[in-house]
Structure 1
C-alpha cells in the first residue's frame, strides 16, 4: 500500500471510529425498544421520533465522513481490492449443488402435496404433517431458502444459479433461443411484485399443499421461459434469479476466472450493470417489497386497513393497490432525487445514466433490511428445519429457539449498517462519474436525504410489534 493509501486508510479508520460512536449512541436510544417479538416496540423510554431521527442522522453523518475522509485513489483501491482465497473443483461443486437443489425441490413437492393426506396405503406417506413447524416444505421454502439462502447470497455469495433446480432442468432441454420484444427488467419487476403480493395475501406460510402448488406453477412458468429464451431467461426475466443475483453483488465473495476471491462488501454494486429503466425499477421494487412485507404486519397498518375498508374499499383491492402505489412512490422519489441531484451537480451527464449508476446502491439498503427482518426468524426455525429434514415424511416433535430480547437492537443495527453501506457505494460511484470532487458530493445531496428517509421508515417498521394483517 502506498503512503497516500496508508494516509487515507488512517483517516478512514478514524472517521469510522467516529461513526461507530454515533451508532453506539443510536444503540443506547434503541436498546429500550424491545425485541421483534410480541413485545417489540413497547415501553420505549424515549420518543419514537428521537430514535428515528438519530438513525437517519447516522446516514447523514456517514455521508459527511465519506466525503471528507476519502479521495479517488483510496476509493479505487477499496473498489478494486481482490484477494484469492482458494480454488475450487468447479465441475464437482456444480454437480453437487445441482443435486442438492433437485433434492430440495423433490422434498418440497413431496411433503407439500402429501401433507395431511390419509388415503395412502403406505402408512409412512400418511404421516406427513400439516403443522408448519413440522412440515419440511414450509420450513425449507421459508426458513431454509427465503431466509437462510437469501441471507447467504449477500452475506457470503450467490449460490442460487447452481442450486436453482429449474435452471438445472432447463439445461437438460432444448432451447428455442428466442428474444422477447419486452424489457426484461420490467418483466422481472412485475413478476417480483406479483410474488410479493401472493406471499402476503395467501396462506403460503401455513398451507403446505398450497405452497407446493405455487412452487409447481412457478416452476412450469420458469421452465417454459427457459426453453423459449434460453439461459438468458434467468439473467433477464426470472424475478427470483434476479433477486439472488442482485443480492449477490453486495457479498464479499465472488468467483472470477474460476477462482474464489474476497472483495470489499458492496464492491459489486459499483460495477455498471443496470442498463435500462426496467432494471432500475427492479432494484426499487426489491427495496419496496421488503419494506411492504414488514409494513403490512404492523398495528398502524391494521388500523389504516380497517379504516379504508370501512370507507367502502373492498379488501381484495387494498393490498395490491397499496403495493402498486408504494412502488410508484419509491420509484418516483428516487428518480426525482437523481434528476435534481444532476442539476445541483451542474453536470452534462444524462439523468437516465445517473439513475442507472446510482440505483445499485439501494440494494445495500434492501439487504440490510432483509437480514434485520429474517435473521431472527431463521435462527428461531433452525431446530425445526433440522428436525423436518432429518425425516421429511415423518418428523418428530419440533421445537424452536427462543430469541432473546436484545436481538431487536441487533436487527436495528443491521438496518443502519445497510444504509451506511449504501451511502459508501453511492459515494464511490459519484467519484467515478464526475471529474470534480465537489460535483461528486453535490450529486448525492438529495439521494442521501432519500436514503435517510428510507432509513427512518425501515427503523420504524422493524421496531413495531408484529400484528397479523387484517382481511386475509
Structure 2
C-alpha cells in the first residue's frame, strides 16, 4: 500500500523507474527492427510492403508490457502537489482583444475560399485523385495535416469553419435543441463520415467528393439555422466535434479571453477540485460544466456525458477500423466472409458497427470493474466520464502513427495545389520516405499511451482522496488501453493494400 511520506524508500522507486524505462526501450528497439509498413488513408497512397524480422506476438506483447509497466510506475508518483503542478501549469501568451479578432477574420476568409475551391475544383479539375485540389486538400490537408496541427498545437477550426461563418450571420435558433440527445448526433456523424471515407471510394472520385462536400455544407448551415449555431456545432456537427475534442490535447488554447500555453494533454484533467464533481454530472448543463485548471481559473469541460465518452471511443475505433481494412490480413478476412455469400457492404457494416460497440462496451465494462475494485460511492457512469479524456491522447497517438508518413509523402502535392489551385500540377511529386520513418509509428503509439496514463493518473488523484483508491481505480482502464495498444501495434506493422471489394 502506498504511503504518504518518503518512507516508501528511494531504492524501490528508482528500481521500478529503471525497470520500466528499460522495458520500454527494449520494446521500442524490438519494434523498430521489424516494422516496415504503415497504414495510410484509403485511396491516396500505394501499399507498402515489408516483412517482420521477429514474431509479431513478441513485439505486441512487449509494447503492451511497456504500457502496463508505465502504469505501475505512475503508482509510485504519490505526491499530490507535484501532480497538481504538472497539469495545472499555465502561461499566458496573448490577449484576445489584440490577436484573436484578426486571426478569426483571416481564418473565416480562408475557410470560405478553400471550401469554394474544393467544390469547384472537385467538379472541374482533373479527375485524378493525387493531383486534384479537392481530394488533396480535404484528405492530405484537412483529414491529416490540420488534424495533426490541432492536437499538436491548437484548434483553429472554429475560425476556419466556413459553415459556422455563414450560419452565425443568419437568423438562427428557431427550434430549441433537445438536451437529452447530448452529442450522440455528432457520434453518429463521425462514424458516418468515416464509413463514407472508407467504403465509398470518395478519395478516388473528386466529383463525388465535391458533391458530398456541397450537400454537407447545405445540411450543416440549414441545421445550424434551425437549432442555433452554437447548439449545432457543439452537439451535432461531426467535423466541429472532431476538431474540438482533438484540440483539448494541444498545448495552446484560448481560455478566459487569453491565449494560454499548457503542457500537452494536461487540459484534459477535468475534475473540479473545489466541489469534487465529475465531468458528466447530469445536474449540470453543458454550458455550466466547468473545471478548475489548477490556478483558480475555470474552463469548459470537453467530456460531460456518455455521448462524449462515445466520441472519444469513436476517435480510437475509426483509426483501428481504417487500419484493419487496409491491411492484407483485413482484406483476406473480408474476402473469406464474403465468400460464404454475404454482401460486401453488409460485412463492412457489421465489422464497423460491431467493432465500435465492442470498443465502447469494453470501456464501460472497465468502469464497472473499477467501481467494484475501489469500493466507492461513485457510479460507473461517473468514472466512465471522468476517465474518458485520456482516450483522446490515445487517439492522437494512433492518428499520428497512421498518417504522419502519409502526410510527409503528399506534402509536396499539397503545397503545389495550394500554390496554384486553379491549375493542375504537371509533375506531381510524392516523396519516398526512408525505412526508418516507419519506426516512428511505434513511438507515436506508445508515446500517446504513456501520456494518456499520466492524464488518467492525474484525474484519479483529483477524484479520490485515498491514494490507494486513486491508484487502483486506474487499473481496469489501463487494461483496456493495453488492448487498444496491442491492436494498434499489430495493425501498423502489416503491409497495406486496397480494401477488398472497394478498389
Q: CA deviation at 1:45?
A: 1.9
* Paired position in structure 2 for 1:398: 428
Contact 2:28 2:63 (C-alpha < 8 Å) held by counterparts: no
User: Does 2:37 match 1:36?
Assistant: yes
- Listed as ranges, the matches of 1:43-442 within 5 Å are 43-87=51-95, 88-115=98-125, 129-181=126-178, 182-230=180-228, 231-271=230-270, 272=279, 273=301, 274-396=303-425, 397-442=427-472
Q: Which moved more, 1:257-266 or 1:187-196?
A: 257-266
Q: Secondary structure at the match of 2:202?
A: coil
Deviations 1:30-49 (A, max 9, x none): 12224335786733222111
Q: Which moved more, 1:387-396 or 1:230-239?
A: 387-396
Q: Secondary structure at the match of 2:93?
A: strand
Q: CA deviation at 1:349?
A: 0.5
Alpha-carbon spacing, 1:39–1:98, altered in 2? closer, same or farther (3 Å): closer
Q: Secondary structure at the match of 1:84?
A: strand
Q: CA deviation at 1:21?
A: 3.8
Alpha-carbon spacing, 1:209–1:41, altered in 2? closer, same or farther (3 Å): closer
Deviations 1:339-363 (A, max 9, x none): 0111001111111111111111111
Q: CA deviation at 1:312?
A: 1.6
Paired with 2:488 and 2:18, the residues of 1 have a C-alpha distance of 24
Paired with 1:467 and 1:91, the residues of 2 have a C-alpha distance of 45
* Paired position in structure 1 for 2:498: 468
Alpha-carbon spacing, 1:320–1:259, altered in 2? closer, same or farther (3 Å): same
More helix by share: 1
Contact 1:337 1:446 (C-alpha < 8 Å) held by counterparts: yes
Q: CA deviation at 1:281?
A: 1.5
Alpha-carbon spacing, 1:235–1:49, altered in 2? closer, same or farther (3 Å): same
Contact 1:269 1:361 (C-alpha < 8 Å) held by counterparts: yes
Contact 2:49 2:496 (C-alpha < 8 Å) held by counterparts: no
Q: Secondary structure at the match of 2:501?
A: coil
Alpha-carbon spacing, 1:146–1:15, altered in 2? closer, same or farther (3 Å): farther
Deviations 1:203-233 (A, max 9, x none): 1111111000111111111111110111221
Q: Which moved more, 1:294-303 or 1:250-259?
A: 250-259
Q: Secondary structure at the match of 2:168?
A: helix
Q: Which moved more, 1:42-51 or 1:462-471?
A: 42-51
Paired with 1:450 and 1:35, the residues of 2 have a C-alpha distance of 27
Q: CA deviation at 1:13?
A: 10
Alpha-carbon spacing, 1:19–1:215, altered in 2? closer, same or farther (3 Å): farther
Paired with 1:131 and 1:314, the residues of 2 have a C-alpha distance of 29
Q: CA deviation at 1:26?
A: 1.8
Deviations 1:352-387 (A, max 9, x none): 111111111111111100011111111111111111
Q: Secondary structure at the match of 1:444?
A: helix
Normalising by structure 1, we get a TM-score of 0.92
* Paired position in structure 1 for 2:297: none
Paired with 1:39 and 1:248, the residues of 2 have a C-alpha distance of 30
Give the CA RMSD over aligned residues: 2.1
Paired with 2:14 and 2:446, the residues of 1 have a C-alpha distance of 18
Q: CA deviation at 1:16?
A: 7.0
Contact 1:81 1:264 (C-alpha < 8 Å) held by counterparts: yes
Deviations 1:66-125 (A, max 9, x none): 11024211111111100123345221111001111111111111100113xxxxxxxxxx
Paired with 1:251 and 1:79, the residues of 2 have a C-alpha distance of 13
Unaligned runs of 5+ in 1: 5-10, 116-128
Alpha-carbon spacing, 1:85–1:20, altered in 2? closer, same or farther (3 Å): farther
Deviations 1:297-343 (A, max 9, x none): 01111111111111121112111111110011011110011101110
Q: CA deviation at 1:395?
A: 2.6
